[in-house]
């Protein structure tokens, strides 16, 4: 996927400006940055949910540019993506298996064939929650529900995965389980995976590439080991930090000193 001068404006205000990046298949690209920087806006622009004010997006042979799109062209673009929003609360009277099967909604007919059911069960096995297949989705814990929703995402067999803060409400065990699965499936199936993460240390551990967004621009991009410095993180987040290294050589970010006084944020 290529982002060429990508810009987005909302309500007469520019939210993203001039974003340039090449996102490779089979790699995890983590978007990091402070609140209100434009991270979710970037994901929604990639999905085609927000119109571009300038620039161009390409994914394989597909192209997205500013201007009015026909419903058919927008649908064709969005079919290449699987999107997992921040809020995956599910108060619906469906089982976990039924929710996962919905990932194939566009291809389902009046009859649900055995191959689709077997594929859904295989996704639940990958997510480690196959024994919960017949449990109501609303009865699952937050971590289990996130795994079920990611299994649904995988059922769509997309070219690209867009995940918006998928581990923000999970405990450490479920964070690691989900991000391990994200990285494993990205490698195995050659997805272009873009994931918004607030936990900088998880981003450094799991991302092949970091995209650092600040004030609506792409401030920096590159592999965590090469990119992350105390100067960069301190300037983007407005917090003094030191950058250590774990046993594998990945950056570990440690805040220093007192927290700064927070200023009111503009909504994005």
CA distance 7 to 1: 16
Domains, the chain, with CATH or none = 1-80+158-222 (3.40.50.300), 88-157 (no CATH)
Q: What are the residues facing 64 on neighbouring strands? A: 57
- Separation CA 232–CA 27 (nearest Å): 23
Q: What is the pLDDT along the chain (268 residues), one digit of tens a residue?
A: 999 999 999 888 899 999 999 999 999 999 999 998 999 999 999 999 888 999 999 998 899 998 777 778 888 898 899 999 876 666 678 899 999 988 887 655 556 678 888 999 999 998 889 999 999 998 888 888 888 989 998 888 889 999 999 998 888 988 999 999 999 999 999 999 999 999 999 999 999 999 999 999 999 999 999 999 999 999 999 999 999 999 988 999 999 976 665 555 554 4
Q: Output the six-digit token pair for 62.
A: 């597909």
User: What order do you get walking across the sheet with 81-84 strand by strand?
Assistant: 81-84, 160-164, 192-196, 27-32, 209-214, 217-222
Contacts of 10 (CB under 8 A, 6+ apart): 41, 50
């Amino acid at each position: 996927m290529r982002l060429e001068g990508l810009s987005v404006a909302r309500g007469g205000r520019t939210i993203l400006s001039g974003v340039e990046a090449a996102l490779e298949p089979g790699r995890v690209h983590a978007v990091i940055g402070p609140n209100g920087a434009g991270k979710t806006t970037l994901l929604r622009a990639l999905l085609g949910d927000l119109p571009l004010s300038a620039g161009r997006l390409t994914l394989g042979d597909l192209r997205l540019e500013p201007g009015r799109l026909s419903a058919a062209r927008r649908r064709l673009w969005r079919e290449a993506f699987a999107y997992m929003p921040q809020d995956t609360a599910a108060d619906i009277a469906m089982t976990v298996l039924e929710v996962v099967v919905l990932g194939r909604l566009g291809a389902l007919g009046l009859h649900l064939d055995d191959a689709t059911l077997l594929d859904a069960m295989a996704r639940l096995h990958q997510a480690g929650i196959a024994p919960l297949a017949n449990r109501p989705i609303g009865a699952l814990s937050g971590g289990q529900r996130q795994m079920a929703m990611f299994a649904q995402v995988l059922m769509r067999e997309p070219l690209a995965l867009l995940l918006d803060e998928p581990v923000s409400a999970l405990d450490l065990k479920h964070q690691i389980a989900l991000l391990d699965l994200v990285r494993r499936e990205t490698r195995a199936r050659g997805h272009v995976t873009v994931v918004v993460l607030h936990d900088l240390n998880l981003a450094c551990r799991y991302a092949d590439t970091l995209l650092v967004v600040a004030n609506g621009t792409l401030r920096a991009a590159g592999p965590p080991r090469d990119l992350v410095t105390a100067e960069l993180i301190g300037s983007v987040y407005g917090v003094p930090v030191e950058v250590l290294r774990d046993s594998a050589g990945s950056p570990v970010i440690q805040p220093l000193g007192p927290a700064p006084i927070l200023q009111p944020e503009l909504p994005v």
